Amino acid sequence: MKITILEPREGFSKEDVNYLKILEESDLFWESVETARAKLGIPVGGFKARYTSSQEKVSMALSPDDLVTFKAITNEDKKFTALAQDTQTILKILNLPQYWLTPMMSIILSNTAFSPKEKDKTISIEYIGGLKKFRQEVNILDKDRLVISFREKLTLKEMKKVLDKNEKDINKFMSYLPKAPDQRSGLKTIKDLDIRKKMLQYKKDGMENKQVGQKIKEEYGERNIGFELEKDQIATYQARFKKMVDDLIKNKYLLSDFLENR
């Protein structure tokens, strides 16, 4: 029996096309296909369909009787689920990846291999969660995350190649994810953190900058201070450290909403 590849066929690689040509010769494959067809009332040999296709859509012409059966299979959840399950079983028998689901289902229906859908291909990259604005989570365990799923067996080298090919999307979604403290620039190398905290606290307590400088020198000694304590410089250090503190609040939408609903 022959498998017709529906045009355009850009979803198939050359290896995929050669695989289908070899698969046509497998009697055991066609036996499994006819088993699936018999369960659903599909005629032996599949529906005799005529297809016309373009980049936008595929049109199919069937005889009146076949059309009734076809609609019953594709429009009824129970029958379509049975078709999908049998298709998955055949994929497992052949050890084929998930992106073959659409082609194999169309082969069962009418000996015609539809081009794989892009979303069914080797890799799936999905961002789950809120993006720039606050989105309230229903499930506390449903955290923001980037999910990368591989649907076929790959070597580490092949996996890296696929990831490199999708680097743009991965980097975009990665930018939405939160950062742990050890990933944030400047935190590891900041010097004299305790002194800077004291300077900011004294400012909050109402001290003038000159008084702040004197107080710090008394507590730490000039030799133990790694920067100048002139009045103008103290103001600069305080402003920089305050900005560092303020920048810890990354989601101001969530903060505003949270405080308003106390």
pLDDT in single tens digits along all 262 residues of the chain: 889 887 766 778 888 889 999 999 999 999 999 999 999 899 999 888 776 665 555 566 777 787 888 888 888 888 889 999 999 999 999 988 878 888 999 999 989 888 876 545 667 777 776 554 444 444 444 567 888 888 778 889 988 988 898 898 888 888 877 666 665 666 666 777 888 888 888 888 999 888 888 888 888 776 666 666 776 788 888 888 888 888 877 777 767 877 787 6
Domain that holds residue 57: 4-119
In a domain, 184, yes or no: no
Whether 31 maps to a domain, the answer reads: yes
Burial profile 81-111: b = 16 or more Cβ within 10 angstroms, e = fewer: eebeebbeebbeeeebbbbbbbbbbbbbbbb
In a domain, 88, yes or no: yes
Kindly state whether residue 232 falls inside one of the protein's structural domains. yes
Whole-number pLDDT of residue 189? 67
Q: Are residues 92 and 199 in the same domain?
A: no
Residues 113, 8, single domain; the answer is: yes
Shared-domain flag, residues 80 and 152: no
Is residue 251, in this structure, part of any structural domain at all? yes
Residues 130, 114 within the same domain: no
> In terms of domains, do 105 and 169 share one?
no
Q: What is the pLDDT of residue 243?
A: 86
Same domain, 174 and 209: no
**Are 130 and 228 part of one and the same domain?**
no
- Is 130 a member of any domain? yes
Among residues 170, 185, 61, which one has the least CA distance to residue 124? 170
Residue 125 contacts residue 148 (beta carbons within 8 Å): yes
What is the model's pLDDT at position 87? 92
pLDDT score at 182? 60
pLDDT at 141: 47
Write down which residue in 87, 119, 151 finishes a domain. Answer: 119
Q: Are 25 and 115 found together in one domain?
A: yes
| Residue 126 belongs to some domain of the structure | yes
pLDDT at residue 90, as a whole number: 93
Same domain, 129 and 113: no
With respect to residue 245, please indicate whether it lies within any of the assigned structural domains: yes
Q: What is the pTM of this model?
A: 0.54
**What is the count of structural domains for the chain?**
3
For 140-149, the pLDDT digits (tens) are 445 678 888 8
Nearest residue to 133 (alpha-carbon basis) of 253, 258, 247: 253
Does 109 share its domain with 169? no
56 and 40 share one domain: yes
> Same structural domain for residues 114 and 32?
yes
- Cα distances (angstroms) measured from residue 194 to each of 181, 185, 202, 203: 18, 18, 12, 14
